[in-house]
Amino acid sequence: MKIIMLGAPGAGKGTQAKKIADAFGIPHISTGDIFRANLKEGTELGLKAKTYMDKGELVPDELTCDLVVDRISKDDAANGYVLDGFPRTIPQADALTNALAARGEAIDFAIDVDVPDENIIKRMSGRRACVGCGATYHIEFAPTKVEGICDACGKELILRDDDKPETVANRLRVYHEQTQPLIEYYTNREVLYTVDGTQDIEKVFEDIKGILGK
């Protein structure tokens, strides 16, 4: 069962990817984890990626795809995997499609966790992080007992730069330009399924399990 998770930043696709991985006994694979593992192990692909990262450049699509294919070739991915954060663009999707085709394989499900932009901005701009222990809260959905103070360590809470409305809006703009075309790409391959990401986390997961046949 080869699954790709799609959705805007803050839509909750990472949370659902972890739940799918646990429920089906397959690895949750993110490009960030792949890069870190290869850099730590000093692999040939990792060292190649490092030459770009050290210069502050994006790792080329072909190399990123090689790293992903190397990861999905591991024994723990023999029964499938959940890809989270890759592909992000049409060229990356093409590279993955071609690499899988060379192995006689293809993506089975591309699941789009659909959440309107205004919901995402509200969801992310309401997040607060503790400057002391790093605990995270939400002013509406998971508030602290005392406003602005961490329940765990008593330190102050801040709105991280990543979660500021203008930053979130910019990330959403990039997503719509670069990543949303993947929805049409996988629709044309008849593997795209959409779930309503505005629902409760467990309800979203139930919908996904229905798609995956469990």
Cβ pair 191, 108 in contact under 8 A? yes
Cβ pair 180, 192 in contact under 8 A? no
Alpha-carbon gap, residue 180 to 66, rounded angstroms:
23
Alpha-carbon gap, residue 123 to 9, rounded angstroms:
11
Cβ pair 168, 120 in contact under 8 A? yes
The CA-based dihedral angle spanning residues 139, 143, 145, 149, taken in that order and rounded to the nearest 10 degrees: -50
Alpha-carbon gap, residue 19 to 28, rounded angstroms:
9
- Which residues participate in catalysis according to the annotation? 13, 88, 127, 160, 171
Peptide bond between residue 143 and the one before it cis (omega within 30 degrees of 0):
no
Which residues fall within 8 angstroms of residue 175, CB to CB, at 6 or more apart?
8, 9
Q: Assign residue 154 a region: left if phi > 0, alpha if psi is -120 to 50, beta otherwise?
A: left
Alpha-carbon gap, residue 145 to 149, rounded angstroms:
8
